[in-house]
Amino acid sequence: MIHPPRESHTDLFTCERIEDVEVLTFHKHLLHHLTDLAAKTRILEYLESVSRDPTIRVFLILASPQRLDKEMYLDFYRQYLGSSSIADQTLLKRLYNGLNQFIMKLYKINPFVVHAGSGNTAFLFMNLSLACDYRIATEETLFQNPGMELGLPPKGGGVFFLSHLLGPAKCAEILYSGRDINMEEAMGLGLVNRVVKQDTLRTSALETAHAFAHRSPQALFGIKKLLGYCMKDLEGFLEYENKVLETTLRRHQHEEM
């Protein structure tokens, strides 16, 4: 079935329909926008509309070129580590809750999800990609692990996803080491499914999305739901993750006193 093209544009993202594939292109990274109620509502309502649309076979997410690398992530968090301001702590809780809502919407969405991204990427955004069904990255992409340097456990369901994908021992080895992951290792571990050149990222991602769109939608849906059942504790884990992060932040603030 051929569907008429449609497009919608906001400061945060553009969405467009290309045949059976819905394409979401982020212009900015999410971290600063999930504390904005209007922006958060807009993206969550959009994800809900994608999930409810039976004509969408594949949902393609193109990550923002404005990636949040390790240094930017460290700078973002350090403003909160030594702060006991109620306003700062409220903002951080709002961010954590917004991330949880985004991850759960993405993880439970009905269409098959392909994620494509590039560049130096903090583990938080790697974790968001792990909520998707198929992941594409460029050759120079580097997943950067700021946890040990920052003194905080990872946010975004990283422990949950990595322990399910790799097993608890390998997950622990990666997180305790604080090391980064290049694409050769990421491919070997199954953290990405395809590595492409930077200048072909969009065309390769669309090619992959259309290939999945021509497979049995019933089979894709059924497999996706069964895999989701195996990981049905994600929502509870994300809530517990928030509590652990809040406790760790309080310990940082106590040490600053």
How confident is the model at residue 256, as a pLDDT?
56
What is the model's pLDDT at position 80?
A: 72
The one-letter amino acid at 66: Q
pLDDT the model gives residue 92: 84
The stretch 178-185 carries a mean pLDDT of 96
Q: Give CA–CA dist 3/17, Å, rounded.
A: 8
Question: Can you give the pLDDT at residue 71?
Answer: 84
Terminus-to-terminus CA distance in the chain, angstroms?
Answer: 64
pTM of the model: 0.89
| pLDDT recorded at residue 23 | 98
Separation between Cα atoms, residue 37 and residue 5, nearest integer Å: 29
Say how many CA atoms lie within 13 Å of 74 toward its Cβ: 11
Q: What's the pLDDT at 4? A: 43
Residue 254 has pLDDT above 70, yes or no: no
Predicted confidence at residue 246, as pLDDT, reads 86
Q: Quote the CA–CA distance of 120 and 130 in Å, as a whole number.
A: 16
Average pLDDT (65-72) is 76
Determine the pLDDT at residue 87.
80
Residue whose tokens read 């497009």: 7
Give 253's pLDDT tier (boundaries 50, 70, 90). Answer: low
Q: Residue 84 has what pLDDT?
A: 72
> Which CATH architecture is the domain 7-256 placed in?
Alpha-Beta Complex (3.90)
Could you tell me what percent of the chain has a pLDDT over 90?
A: 60
Cα–Cα distances in Å, from 104 out to 70, 73, 101, 136, 220?
A: 24, 22, 5, 21, 19
3-state secondary structure the chain: CCCCCCEEECCCEEEEEECCEEEEEECCCCCCCCCCHHHHHHHHHHHHHHHHCCCCCEEEEECCCCCCCHHHHHHHHHHHHCCCCHHHHHHHHHHHHHHHHHHHHHHHCCCEEEEEECCEEEHHHHHHHHCCCEEEEECCCEEECCHHHHCCCCCCCHHHHHHHHHCHHHHHHHHHHCCCEEHHHHHHHCCCCEEECHHHHHHHHHHHHHHHHCCCHHHHHHHHHHHHHHCCCHHHHHHHHHHHHHHHHHHHHHHHC
pLDDT score for 1: 43
Better-predicted residue by pLDDT, 28 or 57: 57
**pLDDT at residue 31 is higher than 80:** no
Average model confidence (pLDDT) across the chain? 88
Instruction: Give the residue extent of every domain in the chain.
Output: 7-256
- Could you tell me which of 210, 204, 175, 203 has the C-alpha nearest to residue 192? 204
More confident residue, 230 or 22: 22
83 vs 127 pLDDT, higher one = 127
Q: Tell me: the pLDDT tens digits for 77-122?
A: 777 776 778 787 888 888 889 999 999 999 999 999 999 999 999 8
Q: What is the pLDDT of residues 138-164, one digit of tens each?
A: 999 999 998 888 888 889 999 999 999
pLDDT at 3 over 60: no
